[in-house]
Structure 1
Amino acid sequence: MLQFFRHSLPRCRYAGPRIALRPPRVSDQAAWMAVRDRSKAFLEPWEPAWPRDALTPGAYRRRLHRVEQEWRSGVGYGFFIVDDGTDDLLGGITLANVRRGVVESANVGYWIAEQHARQGYMSEAIQVLLDFAFCKLNLHRVEAACLVHNEASRNLLLKSGFQLEGRARKYLCIAGRWQDHDTFGILRTDDRPAVPVIES
């Protein structure tokens, strides 16, 4: 059972062979700002437009507060992706828009620092997150979307067991423009790569 402490996120960690997923902490502020700053040009084309104060302590506090609210209400679960040995910040991954009842589904979104891209970290992080979604939250389905020209993300999702399901016109406002996205889905019963996960 996830345990909450006053004014904080639950103390939990889900580790694969090389990476671990854990909720962000107040103490991660400097690392988050530094990693995002170094990867700004790499990340901006694939994300909603960054506000002018995107890399400030205030922006981090707002993000952390939103993540805490979503965890508590059960509608979203934001994680940092960290090196399992050093706890260095590699990126982030979120299970968002959790719907219950007849749907039992959620959406996944992710980012990784430029220096850690294309090294297999995100493939592992997605499998650890899917284990959390299907085994911990008992969801039926996880959905994802990527820009139609984002070949790296498309290949990552297909490799991770997602199936291409369609194209959504002007689906998300990315880099300041409404852009078409390809949509993907994976069911709890679908085949996917096996990654051992240790919860602590």
Structure 2
Amino acid sequence: MTLPLPPGDFQAYLFDCDGTIADSMPLHYVAWERALAEWECTLPEDLFYAWGGRPVADIIVDLNEQQGLTMPVEVVARRREDIYQQLLPQLSAVPDVLRHIHDAHGRLPIAVVSGSTRESVTASLRTLDLLEKFDVLVCAGDYARAKPDPEAFLLAAKLLDVPPQSCLVFEDTDFGIQAATAAGMAAVRVPQPRQR
């Protein structure tokens, strides 16, 4: 896979984590399946990918509503995270994105902008030996409105002290691309695992 960059004089790179830096979406899906099975809940794989970038709590609330369940959001979210942490030894990076991280490190400020918790993001980046490469992490809980709202990307630009229009975003989800566009940022679409 080659990941060409759009033309432009970019002053910062903003990377989503799951599915963009970390080839973690298949592992996250396994974690979801196992956690939800304990409550006799299902999450079809197509819907899982369509909902990529959404906060975990929002997904559990919607699944409860769709399937007439009353799963406790915090309990299921914690269980899903625990299962994901157990799967981390299987985690790998998306090679072409990894090349862009190494190329930018020390040359441009770079940030992670994720809908996942700080715990999950730092665990993934630490597993991949990438945590120290990033100047800023913007994770769930750092902003009020999730992607496709641009708030998280705008916060990262502010923390890096780079104008939004000078940032290049790397994203794998529709919500992420929409958020980058709404923030006035150029974006690179990272193909999902089934498309690579």
Query: Is the TM value for this pair above 0.5?
Result: no
| Larger strand share, 1 or 2 | 1
TM-score w.r.t. length of structure 2: 0.29
| Larger helix share, 1 or 2 | 2
Higher relative contact order (CA 8 A, sep 6+): 2
TM-score w.r.t. length of structure 1: 0.28
